Structures are given as C-alpha cells and as structure tokens.
C-alpha cells in the first residue's frame, strides 16, 4: 500500500535560525508552510537543509500577517527583548489602546502576537532562555502569558535541562498555548532519566564523515584537526584569567572536560575562544569542539549540512535549540491536533 503523503498538521517557523524547531515538528508529521529568518548566514544553512519554496519572510516586523498562509501550529524561538507594563494604567485612563497591543508594543513578541491574533492557530509553541521567567521580576513572562490568554489560549510552560538528551547543561523554557480546549500540560511529559556523556558526540574513527574531512574538521584517521587545539598563548591567557577571577571570588573561567563528562552550555560566543567547553588532550593543550561536534551536542543528525565558516557555525549552533527535546515536545503536541 502506498503511504499517504498528507501531513498530519501544518506549521510555520518564525525566527527559524538553522531549523532546529522545524526538524522536531517535521519528525512528528508536520509540514512547514512558511519560514521567517532575518540572518543571512543562518538562512544559508537553513536552505542547505530545508526547502523554503513554500514561503519565506525575512524581517518579521515588516511582514504583513495576511501574507502568511493559515496554519495549525505557530512555532517561534523568539528573541527576548526587554519590555515592561509600565504606563499601561495611564494608557487606559487616557482611552488609549491596551491589552496585548499595549503590553508588547515595541518588542518582537508583539509581531508574534499580531500573527497569532490574525490567524488564530490551534497551537502556539514558543522557546526561550530560562531567564524569561525571572526577567523584570517575572513581569515579562506574565505579559506573554496574559497576552496569549487574552487571545483565547490556555497556556502551559516548563523549563527543561538538555542534559538528559545531549551531553550539555542547557536550561530553556518551552511554552505551549492552545485554543482547542486540549489538556496540554508540559509537566506531565516524561523526561529521560539518564544523561549521555561527551564521548557520544566527540570525533572517533567509528563516526568519521567524509564531509568532515573535506571541511577540515578532522583528519582521514578521524582525529580533530590541529587548528582546534589552543595555542600556548591563548591557553596561558585563559588560565591566568581564571586565576584572576577566582581571586576576585567570581569563579568564572574556562570549562575543561573529558569524554565521561557533561559540558556547560554551548553559547553563541563559542567562536571567540571556546573557553566554556574545552576538551582535554593527552600531552597537548586542550582543544575546542569542531563544528560537527557542536552540531551533535545540539542533537542535529550527522546528515545535517554545515555550509558556513567555523565562526558562523559556532554562532548558529550556540543560538539553536536541542533537537531531541523539540522532537519529544512535537510528538506530544501532535497528539492533540
């Protein structure tokens, strides 16, 4: 019997980055029908791995929501720009617009909200940093939640640490809002209880990819290129810096890890010196992760194409989502469509 190609649901991918959220929702049976990403380098990577012929927007602040096709799920890993509810009471007293238009005006979440208001998708899926909960003494999250509720949605959120999916500590908040009276509660989601170790993502001769050899990440024998080993000068600087910070009581410094460890959070600044995740090497200075190892650390499959410079790749993976988490969340959410 020929397998049906009809998608289980449709979704749009806002602030798409390099497609981590899209990977998760496609794996759950969804079809992406619109993408929005403003960064040229991120879009280059995205288009090397996904089609954007279904619809592509660049600057969300300039996109007319009417030009976006109807969809079941709106996905957005939106940047969190500071905003406050200060002045709302004054606006109300003066008879000025209020509600979600007032609370979120001037932020990128406003653009997400206006798209939601126009299309009223069944489900809204949002991802952000954990600090969204505590930003502005909790007002930022409360505004987001109240905005979604005012638009007719029930809201559930949960902070999840990626360490149970990939070998790094990475706490992010996931928000799911639905207007279909579904009992979606992210706190009922069963998180894995075992944490993978760095050995699962490091280069070995057993996981050698020809494309990684061609890209200069590794040698034909599967060893990381020497260019990722820290120079004597940089290694000395990082050690001296760590000592100075420790003396000040800050405790900030490099992170040194072996195959049996779980790493710190990979950040977008990793391209600068790699200091948050350095890999031990016997008889040599430690090294940075290669871009492929960063992709694995974020849960991207080895089939994922890396087509940009090392600097851009580090920025992109440091800004991305952990794909296995999105896959589990998407599978859970898809049951309600």
Which residues are bridge partners to 69 per DSSP?
none
Task: In whole angstroms, give the CA distance from residue 101 to residue 99.
Answer: 6
Which residues neighbour 272 within 8 Å (Cβ) at sequence distance 6 or greater?
Answer: none
80 a catalytic residue: yes
Indicate the Cα dihedral angle 36, 42, 43, 49, nearest 10°: -110
Task: In whole angstroms, give the CA distance from residue 66 to residue 309.
Answer: 36
Task: In whole angstroms, give the CA distance from residue 157 to residue 135.
Answer: 15
Tokens describing residue 55: 């619809």
Task: In whole angstroms, give the CA distance from residue 36 to residue 59.
Answer: 7
Alpha helices (runs of H) in the chain, residue ranges in sequence order: 20-27, 40-49, 88-93, 100-103, 108-119, 139-150, 210-214, 232-247, 270-273, 291-297, 310-319, 323-334
Tokens describing residue 27: 């794996």
Could you give the count of Cα atoms lying within 13 Å of 191 in the half-sphere of its Cβ? 15
Q: Is 172 helix (H, G, I), strand (E, B) or coil?
A: strand
Task: In whole angstroms, give the CA distance from residue 167 to residue 100.
Answer: 39
Task: In whole angstroms, give the CA distance from residue 207 to residue 226.
Answer: 18
Contact 92, 98 (CB under 8 A): yes
CB atoms near residue 67 (< 10 Å): 9
Which of 32, 36, 80, 102 does the annotation list as catalytic?
80
- Active-site annotation, residues: 80
């Amino acid at each position: 019997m020929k397998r049906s190609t009809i998608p289980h649901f449709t979704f749009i991918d806002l602030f798409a980055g390099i497609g981590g959220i899209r990977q998760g929702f496609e794996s759950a049976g969804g079809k992406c029908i619109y993408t929005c990403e403003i960064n040229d380098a991120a879009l280059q990577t995205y288009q090397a791995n996904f089609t954007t012929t279904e619809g592509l927007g660049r600057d969300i602040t300039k996109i007319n929501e009417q030009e976006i096709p109807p969809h079941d799920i709106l996905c957005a890993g939106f940047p969190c720009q500071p905003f406050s509810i200060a002045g709302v009471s004054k606006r109300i007293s003066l008879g000025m617009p209020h509600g979600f238009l007032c609370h979120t005006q001037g932020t990128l979440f406003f653009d997400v909200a206006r798209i939601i208001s126009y299309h009223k998708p069944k489900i809204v899926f949002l991802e952000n940093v954990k600090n969204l909960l505590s930003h502005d003494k909790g007002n930022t999250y409360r505004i987001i939640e109240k905005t979604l509720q005012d638009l007719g949605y029930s809201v559930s959120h949960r902070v999840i640490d990626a360490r149970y999916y990939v070998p790094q500590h990475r706490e992010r908040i996931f928000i799911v809002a639905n207007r279909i009276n579904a009992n979606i509660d992210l706190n009922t989601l069963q998180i894995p209880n075992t944490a993978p170790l760095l050995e699962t993502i490091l280069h070995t001769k057993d996981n050698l990819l020809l494309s990684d050899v061609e890209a200069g990440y590794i040698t034909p024998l599967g060893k990381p290129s020497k260019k990722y080993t820290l120079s004597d000068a940089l290694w000395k600087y990082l050690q001296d810096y760590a000592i100075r910070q420790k003396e000040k009581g800050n405790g900030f410094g490099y992170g040194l890890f072996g195959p049996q460890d779980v790493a710190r959070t990979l950040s977008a600044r990793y391209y600068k010196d790699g200091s948050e995740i350095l890999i031990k090497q016997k008889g040599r200075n430690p090294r940075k992760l290669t871009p492929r190892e960063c992709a694995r650390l974020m849960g991207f499959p080895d089939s994922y194409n890396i087509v940009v410079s090392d600097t851009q790749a580090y920025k992109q993976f440091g800004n991305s989502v952990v794909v296995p988490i999105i896959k589990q969340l998407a599978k859970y959410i898809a049951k309600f469509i």
